[in-house]
């Protein structure tokens, strides 16, 4: 069963999501990679306003390719999430509720997710062309000079993802490894 999520990602939705849940996200999400995260934290440290309302938002770690004619975005596969781990706890403290990427997260990120009640979604690496079909519109809202790493506001419909780490810190990667090892012992 797939769970439909409408953004903004409110606390009630976060509280009901469990590691392993398949979701379809509809609404607005924001893109940001390493360079953009660095600039966001610089703004936070200066006490300045962020270029979008981070409260109850979802950030997708992606650097999309240029759009083909008639499309809002090119291939939009996830990037490796640990690249932004050093910045993530501060954004969670400010109200970020969801992140989309690939790969596991560091201990400090998971600790902050539990404290501030947020979720980490996994998107399928290598499926960027397929994922881009979920994007209805794309608008650069900050850091255009970063090209593919600029912050974009994406309107998505039924963006496919899986809850990898839920608000309690349950981690699908660890759960899957544990099940596999138990199955191997049984053989």
**Per-residue pLDDT at 162 exceeds 80:** yes
Q: How far apart are the first and last CA of the chain?
A: 30
pLDDT, position 125 = 74
Residue 151 bridge partners (DSSP)? 142
In terms of DSSP bridges, do strands 22-31 and 151-165 run parallel, antiparallel, or are they unpaired?
antiparallel
Catalytic residues: 37
Per-residue pLDDT of 104-117, as tens digits, reads 999 999 999 999 99
Question: What's the CATH number where 41 sits?
Answer: 3.20.130.10
CA distance 44 to 90: 8
Per-residue pLDDT of 54-91, as tens digits, reads 999 999 999 888 888 989 998 898 999 999 999 999 99
Range of the domain at 26: 2-186
Average pLDDT over residues 156-184: 83
Domain count for the chain = 1
Per-residue pLDDT of 26-57, as tens digits, reads 999 999 999 999 999 999 999 999 999 999 99
**Per-residue pLDDT at 177 exceeds 80:** no
């Amino acid at each position: 069963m797939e769970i439909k999520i409408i953004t903004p990602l409110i606390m009630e939705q976060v509280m009901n999501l469990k590691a392993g849940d398949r979701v379809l996200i509809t609404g607005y999400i924001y893109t940001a990679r390493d360079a953009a995260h660095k600039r966001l934290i610089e703004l936070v440290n200066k006490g300045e306003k962020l270029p979008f309302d981070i409260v109850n938002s979802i950030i997708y770690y992606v650097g999309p390719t240029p759009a083909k004619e008639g499309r809002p975005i090119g291939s939009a596969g996830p990037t490796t999430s640990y690249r932004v781990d050093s910045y993530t706890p501060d954004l969670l403290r400010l109200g970020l509720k969801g992140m989309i990427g690939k790969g596991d997260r560091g201990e400090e990120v998971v600790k902050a997710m539990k404290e501030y009640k947020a979720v980490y979604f996994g998107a399928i690496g290598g499926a960027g062309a397929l994922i881009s079909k979920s994007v209805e519109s794309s608008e650069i809202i900050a850091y255009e000079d970063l090209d593919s790493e600029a912050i974009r506001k994406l309107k998505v419909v039924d963006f496919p993802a899986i809850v990898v780490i839920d608000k309690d810190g349950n981690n699908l990667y660890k759960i899957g490894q544990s099940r596999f090892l138990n199955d191997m012992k049984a053989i």
